[in-house]
């Protein structure tokens, strides 16, 4: 019986594009730098065009179309479609359909188009180089996008748009300055290679390297360094549990230019209905994760033996019993806080709808909304305090 596994056929257009551009970037760009030398204007053009491509993918393909995290004005959607095509990562329809499948079946080797469980190479680039079954186009999960005129226009003329958007900018600047080759190498080839692989890092490295502060249900991880390279997409553990949030980096110090672009565009009237995960839900996920980590430590033989050696068998039993009681208590309180929050939040949503439906807003309705909002804030504070307590428990266990 043969052990040979028949691999799917190579997707030659993709393989050639990724290979040839990478070789030119690795060989011709250093050669030109040594032989002629790039000017600062060449590098500026590279950075601006790379950023426009990258943000069109993150703010457009990803957060707008794949996850419906906000709504955008037709002008903004048109620009995102144009510059997204320039990145040569397929049409909006194909990209978003694959990405939605990834979220629904993350880490499933049979259904996730770029499952991290199949290896770093596969999730980074290998999944595109062969005609794997889990990568076959199926737009049944993108019916909303098929009703979007801009999406379907870009899908129909994708290759033409992509070629024009890749050729025209360096050609125009080359014509103005007479430095065609410099702009072709940096703005054309190196920018394309950079745009490709920084996006691919989210599918690969962001599932291998980093922390899991919100969920351990899949391989996605938060990594600030990857966020620097991917316009804020490196906070991937957060994104996989709260995928419809227009933000990936939720703290003020998180590097998330995509979030800043979307927020700024809302001030200019180019975006609206920005979806934000309630702070309570975020804290609830963090507390649940901390409790999970604490329980994992208490079942770790190496950790248990080290504590026994330090405390002695009898003291260890008392210590463990007290700790397990506290963890059980915190878990119970977490459930109670969550149930209470769901009840009050539902009441708040209903009251808000009733107030909006009424032509005139009564004083009593306004007071009711204020009281419900105050109760929600109190629950958020309680959850914040619980997170501190559970984090302290994990500190003791460290």
pLDDT in tens, 273-296: 999 999 999 999 999 999 998 888
Q: Helices 279-298 and 363-397, interaxial angle, to 10°?
A: 20
Residue 251 lies in a domain: yes
Residue 126 lies in a domain: yes
Q: What is the mean pLDDT of residues 41-54?
A: 97
Q: How many domains does the chain have?
A: 2
Q: What is the pTM of this model?
A: 0.89
pLDDT tens, 13-44?
999 999 999 999 999 999 999 999 999 999 99
Q: Which of 272, 305, 329 is the last residue of a domain?
A: 272
Residue 295 CA neighbour count, 13 Å, CB half: 12
Better pLDDT: 359 or 66: 66
- Are 301 and 191 members of one domain? no
Residue 376 lies in a domain: yes
H or E element, residue 34: helix 12-35
Q: Is 2's pLDDT higher than 50?
A: no
Residue 219 lies in a domain: yes
Residue 59 lies in a domain: yes
Q: Is 4's pLDDT higher than 70?
A: no
- Are 209 and 133 members of one domain? yes
Q: Mean pLDDT score of the chain, rounded to an integer?
A: 91
Q: Which of 272, 298, 319 is the last residue of a domain?
A: 272
Q: How would residue 362 be classed by pLDDT, with cut points 50, 70 and 90?
A: low
User: What pLDDT does residue 89 have?
Assistant: 96
Instruction: Provide CB contacts within 8 A for 75, sequence distance 6+.
Output: 270
- Are 154 and 175 members of one domain? yes
- Are 162 and 179 members of one domain? yes
Q: How would residue 223 be classed by pLDDT, with cut points 50, 70 and 90?
A: very high
What residues does 272 pair with on adjacent strands?
71
- Are 350 and 219 members of one domain? no
- Are 379 and 255 members of one domain? no
- Are 212 and 301 members of one domain? no
Domain that holds residue 223: 12-272
Nearest to residue 246, comparing CAs of 106, 62, 95?
A: 62
Instruction: Provide CB contacts within 8 A for 37, sequence distance 6+.
Output: none
Residue 7 lies in a domain: no
**Distance (Å, whole) CA 329 – CA 233:** 36
Q: Which of 272, 300, 316 is the last residue of a domain?
A: 272
Residue 250 lies in a domain: yes
**Distance (Å, whole) CA 171 – CA 364:** 65
- Are 267 and 297 members of one domain? no
Q: How would residue 169 be classed by pLDDT, with cut points 50, 70 and 90?
A: very high
- Are 146 and 182 members of one domain? yes
Q: Is 215's pLDDT higher than 90?
A: yes
Do residues 113 and 123 lie in contact, with contact meaning Cβ atoms separated by under 8 Å? no
Q: Is 250's pLDDT higher than 50?
A: yes
- Are 319 and 227 members of one domain? no
Two structure tokens written together for 129: 């180089």
- Are 104 and 200 members of one domain? yes
Do residues 205 and 188 lie in contact, with contact meaning Cβ atoms separated by under 8 Å? no
Residue 4 lies in a domain: no
Q: What is the mean pLDDT of residues 176-203?
A: 96
Longest dimension (CA), the chain: 82
Q: What is the mean pLDDT of residues 211-240?
A: 96
Question: Which DSSP category does 6 fall into?
Answer: P
- Are 126 and 260 members of one domain? yes
């Amino acid at each position: 019986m043969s052990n040979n596994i028949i691999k799917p056929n190579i997707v030659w257009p993709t393989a050639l594009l990724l290979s040839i551009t990478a070789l030119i970037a690795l060989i011709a760009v250093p050669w030109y730098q040594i032989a002629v030398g790039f000017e600062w204007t060449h590098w500026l053009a590279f950075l601006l065009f790379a950023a426009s491509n990258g943000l069109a993918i993150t703010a457009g393909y990803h957060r707008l179309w794949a996850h419906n995290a906000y709504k955008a004005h037709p002008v903004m959607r048109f620009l995102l479609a144009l510059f997204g095509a320039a990145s040569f990562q397929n049409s909006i329809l194909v990209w978003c359909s694959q990405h939605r499948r990834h979220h629904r079946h993350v880490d499933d080797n049979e259904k996730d188009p770029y499952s991290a469980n199949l290896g770093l190479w596969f999730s980074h680039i290998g999944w595109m180089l062969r005609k794997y079954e889990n990568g076959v186009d199926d737009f049944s999960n993108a019916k909303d996008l098929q009703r979007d005129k801009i999406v379907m226009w870009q899908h129909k003329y994708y290759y033409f748009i992509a070629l024009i958007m890749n050729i025209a900018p360096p050609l125009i600047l080359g014509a103005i300055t007479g430095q065609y080759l410099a702009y072709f190498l940096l703005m054309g080839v190196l920018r394309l290679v950079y745009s490709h692989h920084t996006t691919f890092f989210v599918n690969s490295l962001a599932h291998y390297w980093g922390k899991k502060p919100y969920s351990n249900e899949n391989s996605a991880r938060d990594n600030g360094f990857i966020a620097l390279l991917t316009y804020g997409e490196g906070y991937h553990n957060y994104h996989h549990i709260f995928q419809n949030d227009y933000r990936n980096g939720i703290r003020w110090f998180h590097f998330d230019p995509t979030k800043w672009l979307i927020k700024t565009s809302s001030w200019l009237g180019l975006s609206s209905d920005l979806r934000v995960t309630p702070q309570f839900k975020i804290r609830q996920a963090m507390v649940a994760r901390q409790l999970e980590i604490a329980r994992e430590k208490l079942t770790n033989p190496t950790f248990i033996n080290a504590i026994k050696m330090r405390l002695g068998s009898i003291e260890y039993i008392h210590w463990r019993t007290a700790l397990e009681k506290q963890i059980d208590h915190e878990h119970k309180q977490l459930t109670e806080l969550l149930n209470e929050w769901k009840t009050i939040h539902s009441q708040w949503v209903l009251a808000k709808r009733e107030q909006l439906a009424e032509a005139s807003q009564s004083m009593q309705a306004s007071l009711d909304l204020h009281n419900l909002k105050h109760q929600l804030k109190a629950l958020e504070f309680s959850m914040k305090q619980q997170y501190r307590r559970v984090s302290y428990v994990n500190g003791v266990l460290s």
